[in-house]
Chain A
């Protein structure tokens, strides 16, 4: 375990060495940003709307007492989306979509000697391959989380219209009541940290792939599994430290 941790830290240190040429790295960062951000928008939108809708229906069901104002469901649904569902569930999904892509991409380059080709040319391979992925993830995943929060709340509103469990007016009143900006800050810190975890762990798994196609698949799986575990651990740590 300590050997893996050492290799991981060493790889990160190499990843942030001075680039050979800034413009070439910048192009890579832009390409990765498009891949992570635009490429994940569809799946994030779908899960956010459905999770937002389901959360609202479940909260409305649990708060069926006439003593509790119906608008509370809107507040609970909002805070659940901001604090947990949008950053954490989105990041777990992104670990599958983006992380496995990073690990298999770098792993394939390793087993087909493309990384050796970079090193022969004098290119710092970890810097060229990993730093753009980390930069793209820590910038685009927070943006995706903001979109996810908006769509989650919208999903709750749609659920109110369709099911009629609470009126849309009550829901909107609840969404606007007692909003605390800290929750959004917590969500963004989580998204930033989760982005770093996904990109760095999956890239690490891909970079040290040995063997062939089978091992590339195993690296991608390991990257996703470790990322998910570390996302959940970091989620607990950030939540307990910030709230």
Chain B
């Protein structure tokens, strides 16, 4: 479980996050949604420590992550997997080397064991036999899957996903969503997903936080969205004619 308490983040005079408090449950897909510039990615970066919050605290299973220094954070970081918007695979390494990289640094496993783990992770994301390819040789969807495989390599307790569907076709988007959903349940991870993809919201949103103007505007599950009377949430979720039609059928 991850708890964030009263998170503020300011860049110069621009206050991006304004006192966000939330709890992200274990074994569930916790979605952070909101319009562009609402502070979703900033919040995610504050949680994982890429940004330091101006005020507030982040707890990973009751451990105060915010007050730790870089070295103290390492044991928690080894339990974190993250899938970036553009996958952020290391260009100079093959798929296999990308997945084995955290294992090389933080485990004492033999080369055979690391290779076995890499093969397992690749098989789990349906990318068997792609070990020797470089990121430049992969499609967008394959890069995402390798990113997930790398995130899984250290058997993380916490999975963070930034815009998993950006740049993907609808079919591949659904595949990635389903994969994240399956893995979250299978490994009992606390998964936090930043997205503005409505298919993801309606498909895998166990717990959804809607950000608006840097504040938590609404919280609930995908089942609650259709019945919500929150104007800003409705304007955001049901902005398209397709979603409006879907709402009317519900």
Contact = CB atoms under 8 A, between A and B. Distances in A.
Contacts of A177: none
A241 interface: no
A120 B82 contact: yes
Interface stretch (B13-21, B70-78, B213-221): B70-78
Given A113-B84, A116-B50, A117-B82, A122 B91 contact: no
Q: In the complex, which range does the number of interface residues on chain A fall in?
A: 10 to 19
Which secondary structure characterizes the binding site on chain A? Answer: helix
Interface string B160-194: 10000000000000000000000000000000000
Interface string A116-140: 1101111110000000000000000
Nearest to A14: B70
Interface in B86-127: 86, 88-91, 101-102, 104-106
A20 B88 contact: no
Contacts of B104: 21, 23-24
B86 to A, nearest CB: 6
Given A113-B85, A117-B82, A122 B90 contact: no
A121 B104 CA distance: 12
A120 B105 contact: no
Nearest to B90: A114
Given A20-B106, A24-B105, A121 B78 contact: yes
Contact of B106 (A23, A108, A116, A122): A122
A112 interface: yes
B208 interface: no
A114 B91 contact: yes
Nearest to A31: B92
Contact of A121 (B70, B85, B105): B105
Contacts, number: 56
Q: In the complex, which range does the number of interface residues on chain B fall in?
A: 20 to 34
Contacts of A113: 84-86, 88
B80 interface: yes
Given A20-B106, A114-B90, A122 B84 contact: no
A120 B80 contact: yes
Given A21-B104, A116-B50, A117-B82, A122 B88 contact: no
A218 to B, nearest CB: 20
A114 B89 CA distance: 6
B102 A121 contact: yes
Nearest to A119: B50
A34 to B, nearest CB: 13
Contact of B88 (A21, A24, A112, A123): A112
Contacts of A23: 104
A20 B102 CA distance: 11
Nearest to A21: B105
Contacts of B74: 20, 122
Nearest to A108: B91
Contacts of B160: 120
Nearest to B150: A117
A145 B90 CA distance: 32
B48 interface: yes
Given A122-B73, A122-B74, A124-B70, A117 B105 contact: no
B115 to A, nearest CB: 16
A143 to B, nearest CB: 24
Name the 6 nearest CB pairs between A and B, nearest first. A122-B77, A113-B88, A122-B74, A117-B88, A113-B84, A120-B82
Interface of A: 20-21, 23-24, 108-109, 112-114, 116-117, 119-124
Given A21-B104, A21-B106, 5 more contacts: A109-B90, A112-B91, A120-B50, A121-B105, A122-B73
